[in-house]
Amino acid sequence: MPATALSDSPECVHFVDDWDGILHETYGGDADRAVLDCARRLAADPAGEEAYAWTLGLVMMAAHIGRFSRKDVAAAALEALHATDRKLRDLPCAHRTHPYESDLDDRIDHFVDDLPLLTNGLTEDEDPDWEDDAAKEQWLCPRDIAGYARVAVDIIAPGSVGGIPPRLPARDARRAEDLRSIVWDYPSAAVDPGQELSAYARNLVANPLGYHRAGLVVVLHAACWYAASGRIRDRRVLDTMVDALEAVLPGLGDASCAHREGDHPEVGRDTAEQATVGIHLLSPGGRGVYRHWHREELETAPLEAWLCPAFLAAIAREALDHLRTGRERLFGLRDTAHLDGVLVRPDGRLDVERLTHAVRFRCRDGQAAEDAGLWAARRFAAGPADPRERLVLLLVACWSVTSGEEAPPEAVHRDLRAILGSVRIAAAGGPESALAGGPAGASAPAGVPAGEPCPHGGAHPWDVLTELVGRRHFGFHEDPYGAHLNHLYAPGEYETPERPFDAEAWGCPRHVAQRVRGALRVIDGAN
């Protein structure tokens, strides 16, 4: 197939834009019809002078064929590509290299421009539009066309053909992208993190000694920090990940290795990069790509280090410990008894400043804020005698829920839901009447008949403070909410904060009910 002009423009020029649209998922027509047309033309003359065009067209459409085409369409494409490979791969050739041996991702976007130029009658030196580093003769070489036919086959049916450069399967490239979005905490719109991580875990449970073991262990280790962070609200996901790592450890045993300290890959810092490596370990093509990376970038660990049983056992145990701890923290029984000695002073009164400080600075320690709110709710439910303490405890418990960007985990909101859901506001007025009887107090608020305006004109403390915080900048260490709650509990110990409110306003039944309802909405939204 010499690089000479055909008698007429090659027929492929009428289709190359369609193929490029299918490649980039912008084609508005019937993609399978375009694939069948191209495959039939190639099958009709698999070694003809236009075989190069139909082969490269199928390369452009291969990712679509492998992912979306009907089985009969994919079968027709594979049959034509295999026929071209059989007829051309052993023909004589004087070239040392061919374009198909390079990285397809670097070239495929240029097919739409380069393919029509291959037989325009101009050599690459004469053609001002030709920018590829390979000669047209190399592109049109029978062995190159056969090589590209095998590349297309491998994209459509990964691992079914040899004699091509290692390549990460298209489906794995998508998996790596989805995993990176998960561990970055910005999951793609179509990605359900729980389903994704459960699928990897189930695959490992099904075959803990198989070829995919190393890749799946690396993936689960990379994702364990996200899974245990509280982003996933379904306990079954963590259960499945724990089951998978428990299943794989016996097969790894107490393996030792000849690697020296520092020879194993460094994990845990860049979880997105680690997840990407894990996906590459799942397939022969991906492992081949990783070997190439290692040759090009000496900083990367050799492939054998990622496959080392001792290394895999170590990261499996680390991930397992982290997931078990996270599962208990998120879904187990949260113990707050230790806070009795921290948040209660020797005289039996609240250390209210320490309590509000824990909730305010949840960005530093989210679990401490959750524990403080849960402790406040449990102490409130125990019915302390001091009505002012009851009011502050209830307001802190509600604040601990509404101050976070997400609802508290099940281990926290389970008790909070039960306690806050049982609250009945007893009467209007100050804290002495607002919470009379504790969490299971009297019925509807007295003194504020239904349908009548609140005596505070709707200017309840929390709403006013929220508006103030929205209008003014408060420094990181400033805490307007905490300052007001501290003063409410112990006005003699703390300075009067900006825009003070009397105890009656804080304990107004409608104000307290509003805070409780707001917290319950957040909690119920998590379910």
Q: What is the DSSP string of 414-446?
A: HHHHHHHHT----BSSSHHHHTTTGGG--SSPB
What is the average pLDDT across 352-372? Answer: 90
Chain center to CA of 369: 25
Which tops the pLDDT comparison, 219 or 479? 219
- Taking only the tens place, the pLDDT of each residue in 153-210 is 999 998 889 899 898 988 899 999 999 999 999 998 889 999 999 999 999 999 999 9
Selected residue with higher pLDDT from 365 and 46: 46
Which one, of 416, 383, 381, lies nearest residue 399 by Cα? 416
Rounded to the nearest integer, the mean pLDDT of the chain is 88
Beta-bridge partners for 446: 427
- Is it the case that residue 457 has pLDDT exceeding 80? no
Among the ranges given (124-138, 178-192, 295-309, 352-366), the one the predictor scored with the smallest mean pLDDT: 295-309
Question: How far apart, in whole angstroms, are the C-alpha atoms of residue 461 and residue 122?
Answer: 81
What pLDDT shows up at residue 459? 77
Residue that is written with structure tokens 């390079």 in the block: 102
Q: Between 444 and 55, whose confidence is greater? A: 55
* Among the ranges given (50-54, 263-267, 312-316), the one the predictor scored with the smallest mean pLDDT: 263-267
Q: How confident is the model at residue 433 (pLDDT cuts 50, 70, 90)?
A: very low
Q: Is the entire prediction scored with pTM above 0.95?
A: no
pLDDT at 10 over 90: no
Q: How many CB atoms lie within 10 A of CB 494?
A: 17
List the beta bridge partners of residue 350: 344
Which helix (H) or strand (E) is 203 found in, with range? helix 193-206
Q: What's the pLDDT at 2?
A: 36
Residues 234, 330: Cα–Cα separation, whole Å: 10
Please classify residue 313 by burial: count the beta carbons closer than 10 Å to its beta carbon, then call 0-12 exposed, 13-18 middle and 19+ buried.
buried
425 — pLDDT class (breaks 50, 70, 90): low
3-state secondary structure of 350: strand
At 16, the pLDDT band (50, 70, 90 cuts) reads: very high
Give the residue, 211 or 14, on which the prediction is more confident: 211
Nearest Cα residue to 317 out of 231, 263, 250, 226: 250
CA distances 140 to 51, 53, 60, 336, 415, Å, are 9, 9, 17, 74, 72
Measured in residues, the chain has a length of 527
- Residue 280 and residue 303: Cα distance in Å, rounded? 10
Lowest mean pLDDT among 28-37, 257-266, 389-398: 257-266
The whole-number pLDDT of residue 364 equals 80
The 10s digit of each residue's pLDDT in 130-150 is: 999 999 999 999 999 999 999
Candidates 481, 516, 517; CA nearest to 499 is: 481
Position 507 pLDDT exceeds 70: yes
Biggest distance spanned by C-alpha atoms of the chain = 102
Predicted confidence at residue 483, as pLDDT, reads 92
The whole-number pLDDT of residue 153 equals 96
| CA 70 – CA 74 distance, rounded (Å) | 6
Burial (CB < 10 A; 0-12, 13-18, 19+), residue 151, is: buried
Q: How many CA atoms lie within 13 A of 424 on its CB side?
A: 10
Least confident among 64-68, 228-232, 450-454, 463-467: 450-454
Confidence of residue 441 (pLDDT cuts 50, 70, 90): very low
**Segment 219-241, tens digit of pLDDT:** 999 999 999 998 898 999 999 99
- Which pLDDT band, with edges at 50, 70 and 90, does 474 fall under? low
The confidence score (pLDDT) of residue 439 equals 43
Q: Do residues 219 and 279 make contact, with C-beta atoms less than 8 angstroms apart?
A: yes
Q: Is 488 left (phi over 0), alpha (psi -120 to 50) or beta?
A: alpha
Residue 448 pLDDT: 37
